[in-house]
Amino acid sequence: MGLKVSVSGVRGRFPEDLTLEHVMNFTRVFSSMLSDRCADRCALAMDTRRSSRIIAAVASAVLREHGVDVYNLGVAPTPVLVRESRASRVGAGMMVTASHNPLEWNGLKFALNGRGIPADLLKSSSSSSSSSSSSRISSRIGVEHWSSASSSIYLDDLLRFLALDGYNAKGVAVAVDTADGSSRPYILEILARLGFRAVVMDGVAADPTGSDLAHLYTAISNECRLGLALDMDGDRAVVLTGRIYKPDDTLLICLAKAVEMGCRSITVSIDTSNAVRDLARAMNCKLYYSKVGEANVVDAMLKNGSSAGGEGSSAGFIMAEFNLCRDGLLASALSLSMLDRLDEIMEYSSRYIVRRGKVDARCINNEKMIDILLSTHAYSEPITIDGIKLVLDEHTWVLVRPSNTEDVVRLSVESDSIDRCNELYRMYEQMIRDVGM
């Protein structure tokens, strides 16, 4: 598959594609960036993959080699790490995770002053030599501090921000699947603090948006009011309300709450359901679109002055005043606070059918593919900010784009008819495959 370096960080199969040499090289470049900014502290966290501990140990050693003090959070979600990286706290952060990728993968995410840094901007690769960075090594050896207070600080901040300190669900049951990832103790404490009863049903799927989550549906049909599924590093949260779900439902619910809290402008990636558009129209809220990818959404949010946004396809919600990253814990807490309004909000979701998938892209020329798609189907509007999105009518669109994290082409189709959605998906899937033949 090869090493993937993008706005989403660095990731690959460990140790075949992502090696410890890669880890050292990227960490050295990041350390030099900190040195250039006269910064000498960095928070470090990891998810629960088997390879995370060795990668984190190597990253810590390289940071300290360059005179950077490491504040080690141990196993902690990416949203917690990003908040620790704010200028008012540690100032920088490194996360060892491959997020929603399969368990045999691992990777690195980087943060400065409370927001992610695209890994491709670090201009590091396996060709980087240790000798080229040796001159940047500090005469001072950094110190490693183990931080145990970050969890309680984060959770206190979260509940205070959402004004949920006095909320009491009185024992309402919620089914939870964290894939035994880094968010597990955090989401359980959130549920406990809000008065919910957690029914833990951890599965093995690293990506909740790609799993059928049948075990959570069973729990909802029996005793649970809601289902929550988070990915390995806690930046994605899927909310199940008891009906057929799509990842966009998480964003829909959270944006409704954000508008209720005063948000008047939202920015979402182009791979987001029309349900969000309809919600924005109904609530008199401005809506902007961005390229797919957390860093791209954050850039567009800041440019547009949007206080909330996210990615429908990844069940990712961002609220700028709290965290400039996708935050599955924040999304979960917001959704839990909206229990009494879920039926009203989900009416927007029920209008549409979304189907997403991927096609092997190792033999596909992306420019040729886009040219063919533009020439072979009628459409009312093409959008080319990320791959090609064809808006066929008010209710129907098709998006074809190269993945940032895998060697695949991602295909998304939405319509108000399940038959048309499936027909279009099959048509474009075959067209993509034909390009690669």
Helices 184-193 and 328-337, interaxial angle, to 10°?
20
User: What pTM does this model have?
Assistant: 0.91
Round to whole Å and give the CA distance between 256 and 164: 17
pLDDT at residue 278 in the model: 98
3-state helix, strand, coil in the chain (%, to 5): 35, 25, 40
Extract the tokens encoding 372. 């063919």
d(CA 144, CA 108): 19
Query: CA–CA separation, 116 vs 319, rounded Å?
Result: 14
* Three-state SS at 38: coil
Q: Which residues pair with 117 in a beta bridge?
A: 110
pLDDT for 1? 58
Those residues of the chain that have pLDDT short of 70 are: 1, 123-137, 363, 377, 436-437
pLDDT of residue 128: 47
**Closest alpha carbon to 328 in 245, 239, 262, 213:** 239
Cβ atoms within 10 Å of 364's Cβ, excluding its own: 19
Which token pair is 275?
Answer: 């349900």
Please tell me the class of the 4-148 domain: alpha beta
Amino acid at 420: R
Give yes or no for a contact between 41 and 142, defined as CB atoms under 8 angstroms apart. Answer: no
d(CA 251, CA 269): 11
Fold of 353-435: TATA-Binding Protein (3.30.310)
What is the rounded CA–CA span in Å between residue 353 and residue 395? 10
Retrieve residue 371's tokens: 């040219």
Tokens at 359, concatenated: 């096609």
Where do we find the tokens 């033999």? 363
pLDDT tens by residue, 33-52:
999 888 999 999 999 999 99
The DSSP string of 370-399 is HHHHHHSS--SEEE-SSSEEEEEETTEEEE
Which residue blocks in 66-198 are alpha helix, DSSP H? 78-84, 130-134, 150-161, 184-193
At residue 149, the 3 state secondary structure works out as coil
Beta strands in 303-345 (DSSP E): 308-311, 316-319
Cα separation of the two ends of the chain: 19
Determine the pLDDT at residue 6: 84
Structure tokens at 353: 């059918």
Question: Could you give the residue range(s) of every CATH 3.40.120.10 domain in the chain?
Answer: 4-148, 153-349
Q: Which residues contact 350 (CB under 8 A, 6 or more apart)?
A: 243
Gap between the Cα atoms of 259 and 285, Å rounded: 8
CA gap 389, 316 in Å, rounded: 20
DSSP codes of every residue in 47-65: -S-TTHHHHHHHHHHHHHH
Alpha helices by DSSP H, listed for 114-183, are: 130-134, 150-161
Q: What CATH number belongs to 153-349?
A: 3.40.120.10
Task: Find out whether 404 and 10 touch, Cβ atoms under 8 Å.
Answer: no
CATH 3.30.310.50 domain span(s) along the chain: 353-435
Helix (H, G, I), strand (E, B) or coil at 154: helix
As a whole number of angstroms, the distance between CA 362 and CA 139 comes to 45
Q: What pLDDT score does 253 carry?
A: 96
Give the 3-state secondary structure of residue 137.
coil
